[in-house]
Amino acid sequence: MKNPMKYPVIDGVVAPEGHLEVLSRQEIAKLLDNSQTGLHQLFRNCALAVLASADYMDDGKALMEAYPNFDIRIVHRERGIKLELSNAPASAFVDGRMILGMREHLFAALRDILFTSTELALQDQRGEHDAVALTDLVFHILRNANVLQTDLAPNLVVCWGGHSISRTEYEYTKRVGYQMGLRELDICTGCGPGAMKGPMKGATIGHAKQRIGNGRYLGFTEPGIIAAESPNPIVNNLVILPDIEKRLEAFVRAGHVIVVFPGGVGTAEEILYLLGILLHPENHALPFPLIFTGPAESAAYFHQIDEFIGATLGPKAQALYTVIIDDPEQVARLCRAGTREVREYRKQHSDAYYFNWRLKIDTEFQRPFIPTHTSMRGLNLHRHQQPHQLAAQLRRAFSGVVAGNVKLQGIQEIERHGLFELHGDPEIMVQMDRLLSAFVEQSRMKLPGTQYKPCYRISH
């Protein structure tokens, strides 16, 4: 059986292994409910992204259109549950059996969606929406996913970067990952392809050479972007956070060092998020190693990023990171030294190795930003505010561009109402226009097989 887009499909039934064998009647009701308040559509979309990861699609709308008849249904039996799939991507199966890694990711999606919906409902009932409650939610999601390992010294390197990078840049991320693996460092990324896959792929070889059989390859994603960045097969612990803000907080709370590879507007959003947090006065003494790196051909990219940061956030922001070009061993050595520095600091301050509780994160970095034409026009992109506050606003602007590029809701918003409009301080707008134009010229915002069309309009 084939669907209208000529992608092979298959029907099947899969059961969980070791977890989620039993669901409550209320949980099953949520998953069967096709209304706006139910979880069925959310779980369907995430499940399709997981199962179609071998199809190498990075357009959420195109993915949904490629498998219009896909559906997934909970089958509740006396001895537990099973998932019944209709018109699922055939690439997720081998000889009629679902690939084990994809089955793990599928049930991870079910686990996180059910757990998060319950936690959010409890927060609403208690009226808890402050910074402490939002951080607790991130902690509970990671703990439930078995990410927080109390018996490990700090060794988790978070790697950010683009999902559609050049072959040279991708090979470089593998070389860096290999050097990290040799130094017994674990990897956490956004779980997708490109710069999110390369470091994991390299680390698997480094770990194998050091005879490390329990290397961690963590993937953090969220429902709005999973279709554009489907989980890569190396991820052995997938976590789906409820929104981009919780996803970003999970990275900085669980990680010990962050390495940024070349990317596009999504990578710029991540950089601004972290710089905004580190610029907060309460975080000035807290060690958080941050490294920008790429091959020689990416030097201009990082020069543009550095120039933008200097022109908008100032030299204090530029002092928070180190740029290393074409030197994987030096990157890995700094990562290893950074984890030791973090360990000593947390040991002195009696802070947990596995979760960065001391990091101050304001609610403006935690509350979901929904990119609409009204919210994008209303961003405060002016200089009369503290640098960490401006960084929060700039982060939201870039988040809106990401949504308009690849997220289904953002794409539909653009189709209905036209381009997002950004207004603010003329100098900041010039810098933003210059950076985004450079991304377009370098094909960093060009989706495979398409000519990039901006989803935004910048007013100078």
Q: Are 387 and 403 in contact (CB under 8 A)?
A: no
Q: State the pLDDT at residue 1.
A: 41
Q: How far apart are CA 352 and CA 344, in angstroms?
A: 11
Q: Are 182 and 209 in contact (CB under 8 A)?
A: yes
Beta-carbon contacts of residue 373 (< 8 Å; ≥ 6 apart)? 413, 417, 418, 420, 421
Q: How far apart are CA 360 and CA 352, in angstroms?
A: 15
Give the DSSP H/E element, type plus range, for residue 102. Answer: helix 100-126
For 253-303, the pLDDT digits (tens) are: 999 999 999 999 999 999 999 999 999 999 999 999 999 999 999 999 999
Q: How far apart are CA 426 and CA 458, in angstroms?
A: 10
**pLDDT interval class at 447 (50, 70, 90):** low
Q: Is 374 helix (H, G, I), strand (E, B) or coil?
A: helix
What pairs with residue 9 in β-bridges? 89
When the pLDDT of each residue in the chain is averaged and rounded to a whole number, the result is 91
First to last CA, the chain: 53
Q: Are 14 and 72 in contact (CB under 8 A)?
A: no
What pairs with residue 238 in β-bridges? 219
Phi, psi of 93 (to 5 degrees): -125, 150
| pLDDT at 448 exceeding the cut of 60 | no
Q: State the pLDDT at residue 3.
A: 47
Beta-carbon contacts of residue 21 (< 8 Å; ≥ 6 apart)? 15, 79, 80, 81
What is the DSSP annotation of 305-355?
A: HHHHHHHHT-HHHHTT-EEEES-HHHHHHHHHHHHHHHHHHHHHTT--SSS
Q: State the pLDDT at residue 36.
A: 57
**pLDDT interval class at 76 (50, 70, 90):** confident
Q: How far apart are CA 418 and CA 385, in angstroms?
A: 30
Q: State the pLDDT at residue 4.
A: 46
Phi, psi of 219 (to 5 degrees): -125, 120
Q: State the pLDDT at residue 128.
A: 75
> Between vectors from CA 157 to CA 227 and to CA 358, what angle results, nearest 5°?
100
For 403-437, the pLDDT digits (tens) are: 988 887 888 899 999 999 999 999 999 999 999 99
Token pair belonging to 275 = 């710089």
**pLDDT interval class at 445 (50, 70, 90):** confident
What is the 3-state composition of the chain as percent helix, strand, coil, each rounded to the nearest 5?
Answer: 50, 15, 35
For 166-217, the pLDDT digits (tens) are: 999 999 999 999 999 999 999 999 999 999 999 999 999 999 999 999 999 9
**DSSP designation for 4:** T
Q: What domains sit in the chain, N to C, each tagged with a CATH number?
A: 9-127 (3.30.1850.10), 147-217+247-348 (3.40.50.450), 365-458 (no CATH)
Task: Work out the average pLDDT over 90-111.
Answer: 93
Q: Are 10 and 79 in contact (CB under 8 A)?
A: no
| pLDDT at 59 exceeding the cut of 90 | no
Q: State the pLDDT at residue 164.
A: 85
| CA of residue 264 relative to chain centroid, distance | 13
| pLDDT at 397 exceeding the cut of 60 | yes
Q: How far is CA 271 from CA 40, 49, 171, 322, 386, in A?
A: 33, 26, 22, 13, 17
Higher pLDDT, 250 or 121: 250
Token pair belonging to 213 = 């059989």
**pLDDT interval class at 2 (50, 70, 90):** very low
Q: Is 238 helix (H, G, I), strand (E, B) or coil?
A: strand
For 343-372, the pLDDT digits (tens) are: 999 999 999 999 999 999 999 999 999 999
For 213-246, the pLDDT digits (tens) are: 999 999 999 998 887 788 999 999 999 999 999 9
Give the burial string for 80-102 (b: 16+ CB within 10 Å, else e). Answer: ebbbebebbbbbbbeeeebbebb
Q: Are strands 156-160 and 186-189 parallel, antiparallel or unpaired?
A: parallel
Q: How far apart are CA 167 and CA 175, in angstroms?
A: 12
Task: Give the burial class of 2: count Cβ atoms within 10 A of its Cβ; 0-12 exposed, 13-18 middle, 19 or more buried.
Answer: exposed
| pLDDT at 401 exceeding the cut of 80 | yes
